[in-house]
Amino acid sequence: MSKKAYLILENGLCFEGQTLGAVGEITGEIVFTTGMTGYLETLTDQSYYGQIVLQTFPLIGNYGIIPSDFESNCIGASAYIVKYPCENPSNFRSQGTLEAFLKENNIIGLSHIDTRAVTKIIREYGVMNGKITYQKPDNIDLTEIKNYKIKN
C-alpha cells in the first residue's frame, strides 16, 4: 500500500503524491521525458545516471517489464516520477509491473503528482534539483537540494 510522499523543488514548491517503488528519500537533478512509450529504455539508459526522471505522459507501465527492451543491465536513473503507474500491464512478454521492478532494483519513485506542472516549471526556470521525501515538508531547509551535484 502506498503512502504520502512529496517532491520538493529547489525553488521551494512542493507537490504531494504517493510512494512508488523502493522506500527512501533522495535528492537529485530533475529531468523529464515526454515519450508515450520507452519507459524501460529511459530507466536503463546510463545517460540519466544520478538524475530523478519524470515522465510527462500520464500512464506509465502499460506494457510491463520486458528485459529484452532494456538499454543496459542496470538502471541509470536514481529515482522515477510518474502521474499514474499501470497496475495491470498487458503484454505477452511482460515479466512484472513497474512498481515491482522499481522495488526489486531499489529505485525510489513517486506517483500521483501533476507531472506536467513540474515540467512547465522546469521549462520556464531551467535546470532544477528536487527531493523526494516522506516527511511532511514544513519549513524545509532548501540548502541540501540547491547544493546537490551528481557524483560519479
Residue 149 lies in a domain: no
Residue 116 lies in a domain: yes
Of 71, 23, 20, give the one whose Cα is nearest residue 44.
71
Residue 47 above 80 pLDDT?
yes
Residue 115 lies in a domain: yes
Residue 129 lies in a domain: yes
Average pLDDT (31-51) is: 94
**Confidence at residue 1, expressed as pLDDT on a 0 to 100 scale:** 67
Residue-number span of the structural domain to which 117 is assigned: 4-134
**Confidence at residue 22, expressed as pLDDT on a 0 to 100 scale:** 96
User: Where would I find the H helices in 1-141?
Assistant: 39-43, 98-104, 115-125
What pLDDT digit, counting tens, does each position of 61-114 carry?
A: 999 999 999 998 889 999 999 999 999 999 999 999 999 999 999 999 999 999
H/E stretch holding 131 reads strand 128-133
Residue 144 lies in a domain: no
What pLDDT digit, counting tens, does each position of 13-32 carry?
A: 999 999 999 999 999 999 99
Domain count, the chain: 1
* CATH number, residue 20: 3.50.30.20
- The label of the residue with cell 516549471 reads 121
Residue 142 lies in a domain: no
Global confidence as pTM: 0.94
Residue 38 lies in a domain: yes
Confidence of residue 58 (pLDDT cuts 50, 70, 90): very high
Residue 140 lies in a domain: no
